[in-house]
Structure 1
Amino acid sequence: MPKKFIRRFLPDHQSIKQNKALKIFGSVLHEPNLWHLNRRSASGAFGIGLFFAFWPVPFQMWLSAGLAIPFRANLPLSVATVWVTNPFTIPPIFYGAYKVGTTVLGTKPEHFEFQFSWQWVVESINTIGPAFLVGCGICSVVFGLAGYFSLNWVWRFQVKKAWERRRQLRNQQA
C-alpha cells in the first residue's frame, strides 16, 4: 500500500506540532486533515510538492506548505516532495526546463556557462531568463498535475488489489 510506504518516511505529527520554530503558525497546524494520510490528501500533497519543485526560488518548502494548508493536503508529504529538486538534481531539471522554454517560445538555445555570482544572474535574466521561466512554469504545471493524477491512480490500484486479495481469501476459506 502506498500509505504504509509513505508513512515510513513522514515524521510524527505530534513532534512537528511541538516544534518551537513552527509555533508561529498557531492552531493552523492542529487541523487533523493536514496530518491524515489518505488518497486525497496524499495526491494533493504530491501534486503541490511537484508544482513548487520546479520554481527557481530558495523557499519552495514554505510555498508548498502555504498551499497545502488551504487545500487540506498532507503537509509533511507536500514539503518533502519539493526535495525532488535538490543540489544534485537541480542542474539537469532546470536545464530541461530551459530546453522546454526555448522549444515553446521558438527561440534558439543559447550557450551559457553558469557562474555563481549576482552579476551573472542579472545578465542572464535578459538572455536565457524568459525561456527558463516559461519552461519552469510549464514543467511546474505539467509535473504537478501528472504527480497528482499518477499517485491518485496508484493509490486506487493498490486499494483495488487489496480488496481483491481479501475477497479471494474469503472465498478460499468458505
Structure 2
Amino acid sequence: MKRKYLWMVRRAYRALRHPKLRHRGWWRKLTQPLFERRLWKPCRDTVAVGIAIGLFFGLIPLIPQSLFAAIAAMRVKANIPFAVAITWISNPLTNLPIWAAQLWLGNQVQGLLHLSPPEFAGTFEIPGVGVVNAATFLLGVLLSGLIAALLTFPAVHLFSAIMPHHLPRLPRRHRDAVVIVPPRGSGSSGN
C-alpha cells in the first residue's frame, strides 16, 4: 500500500511540474506552494488535517471538491494527496444516501432548536420525499461536514497509535534529527 501511495504521489508531482506547464508564470505562481515536499509526505498530524479537509469538502455538493480541498490543504499545510483522495467519498453511487442523511440531519437540528426555515431560501419538491427547504439542506450539509471533519482527528490518532510504522508522528526528516545537548557545567550559567 505504501508503494502504491508513493507511486501515485510521484506521478501527480511530475504531472504538475510538466515542462509544458512549468515555463508559464501564472502556473508557477499558482503551484509554488504545492511543491513543498512535507505536504506530500504522510505523518500523523498532516494526514489528520488533510482527511478532515477532504471530508468537509467531500460532503459539500459541489463539482470541483478536489480542487477546493487541495487549495485549503495547501493553505493550512496539510497532506494534499489525502485531502484530494478523500473527497471521492461522495461519488455518483454515494451521493443520494449522503444527501438524504444530510437532509435528515438538517431537519432534526432545525426541529430540535425550534428554528423556522428562512423565507428567502427556496423550497423544492423531491419525488418520494416531499417539499424540501434549501436552508434545511444547507444546515445538514454544513453540520455533516463539520462532524465528519472533527471525528477524523481521533480516528487518525488512534490508527497512528496502533500502527505507528504506517503513519509516523513526524516525517522521517524531523524524526531522525539529532539534538545536541551541551554538557552540564559548560556555558554561561554562572557555575
TM over 0.5: yes
1:6 Cα deviation after fit: 7.6
Secondary structure of 1:88's counterpart equals: coil
Q: For residues 26 and 11 of structure 1, do their structure 2 counterparts lie closer, same or farther at Cα, with a shift above 3 Å needed?
A: closer
The correspondence of residues 72-83 of structure 1 with structure 2, limited to 5 A, is 72-83=77-88
Distance 1:101 1:147 in 2: 21
8 A Cα contact 1:10 1:77, kept in partner: no
Distance 2:74 2:101 in 1: 30
8 A Cα contact 2:9 2:40, kept in partner: no
Instruction: Return the index of the structure with the highest Cα Rg.
Output: 2
1:113 Cα deviation after fit: 2.1
Q: Which residue does 1:91 correspond to in 2?
A: 96
1:60-97 CA distances to partner (integer Å, 9 max, x unpaired)?
Answer: 11110111012111111101100000010000001100
Distance 1:35 1:128 in 2: 40
1:94-133 CA distances to partner (integer Å, 9 max, x unpaired)?
Answer: 11000000011017xx97229xxxxxxxxx7xx4211110
The correspondence of residues 25-64 of structure 1 with structure 2, limited to 5 A, is 25-64=30-69
Q: Which runs of 5+ in 1 are unaligned?
A: 115-123, 163-174
Q: Supply the AA of the counterpart residue of 1:153.
A: L
How many residues of Structure 1 are paired with residues of Structure 2 in the alignment? Answer: 147
Q: For residues 43 and 99 of structure 1, do their structure 2 counterparts lie closer, same or farther at Cα, with a shift above 3 Å needed?
A: same
Are 2:14 and 1:15 aligned? yes
Q: Supply the AA of the counterpart residue of 1:103.
A: Q
Q: Which residue does 1:172 correspond to in 2?
A: none
Q: Which residue does 1:153 correspond to in 2?
A: 158
Distance 1:111 1:11 in 2: 43
Quote the sequence identity (%).
23
Distance 2:63 2:21 in 1: 18
TM-score (norm 2): 0.66
